[in-house]
Amino acid sequence: MEAILITGGAGFIGSHLVDNLLARGEKVVVVDDFNDYYSPKIKWKNIEQALKNHNFHLEQGDIRDFPFLERVFKRYPIKCVVHLAARAGVRPSVEDPILYEEVNGVGTTNLLELARRFEVPKFVYGSSSSVYGYTDQVPFKEDACADQPVSPYAATKRANELMCHAYHHLFGLKVVCLRFFTVYGPRQRPEMAIHKFTRLIDEGKEIPVYGDGSSKRDYTYIDDIIQGVVAAIDKDFDYEIFNLGESQVTDLLTLIRLIEENLGKPAKIKFLPFQAGDVPITYADISKAKKILGYNPQVPIEEGIKRFISWYKKEARDI
């Protein structure tokens, strides 16, 4: 039975994708290094149920380690690579750009090269809305200029899209690049805004707001993202880029109000200077994904925050 290889499969988005694919009977191989960017215990909890499934296989290692990855490709017949592993986050990338280039750049090229050598039919790459940088062209369309990233993280994501295209052009590798827009929901990484703010408000601590709170994001619920990723796995393309977002924007102060309402606790806001690498807005034009992938997000921010807070109260408070 051919397998779907998911890098970063013990993380937030990856573990949800694992659950979805196992539920439909797929054989899933996960590569994850369980690094300390956040507590590895969280990742182990994310795949707790998957580990009980005979169709689930875990390979622990670093995507920068070519011999390790080569052993994985030799061990399993792979029909699709879904590459989600990365050093994530705009602000940490400003502090350690070399690490981001090594993990995101070298790691991605390793996977593309092995997909070529082992003749993997499809490669799905998890990119980011950050590739658009500063732009007045909103909502963001896939054919917009994306050659002026404003953080090392964004630069690595865009560079990887271009490397994917090079492998498609030179070797015929079929690639889909998915630009994710601020994904949230159960299992969200603890340093991301919604999870971080929820915990700090719950504990009666100050929450840091960079700028005046007017920045806007296209927050996308995890179930909607997974719908788009699965569609990209199932459909056949040569090389395509798709936005996966909710296609609605919420300013930061409104987001905080929604968290307050669902937690039943007030926020203590500490306003701080605007941070380098941040952008004032992200906003996805999803008309292409709707037309070609059948992508159809269903969870507005009000419902998504309600679901997230419910999960946090039940499962995340003590993590």
CA gap 91, 208 in Å, rounded: 14
Q: Distance (Å, rounded) from C-alpha 178 to C-alpha 81? A: 13
8 A C-beta contact, residue 6 and residue 18: yes
What phi and psi values does residue 128 have, to the nearest 5 degrees? -150, 150
Question: Do the beta carbons of residue 175 and residue 165 sit within 8 Å?
Answer: yes
The candidate with the shortest Cα–Cα distance to 303, out of 215, 189, 222, is 222
- For 151-255, strand residue ranges (E) read 175-180, 183-184, 206-210, 216-217, 220-221, 239-244, 250-251
What is the torsional sign of CA 74, 75, 79, 83?
Answer: negative
> Is-catalytic flag, 76?
no
Q: Which of 76, 100, 153, 167 is catalytic?
A: 153
Using alpha carbons, select from 183, 77, 169, 70 the residue that is nearest to residue 121. 77
CB-based contact 3:28 (threshold 8 Å): yes
Residue 112 has phi, psi (to 5 degrees) of -60, -45
**What positions carry a catalytic annotation?**
153
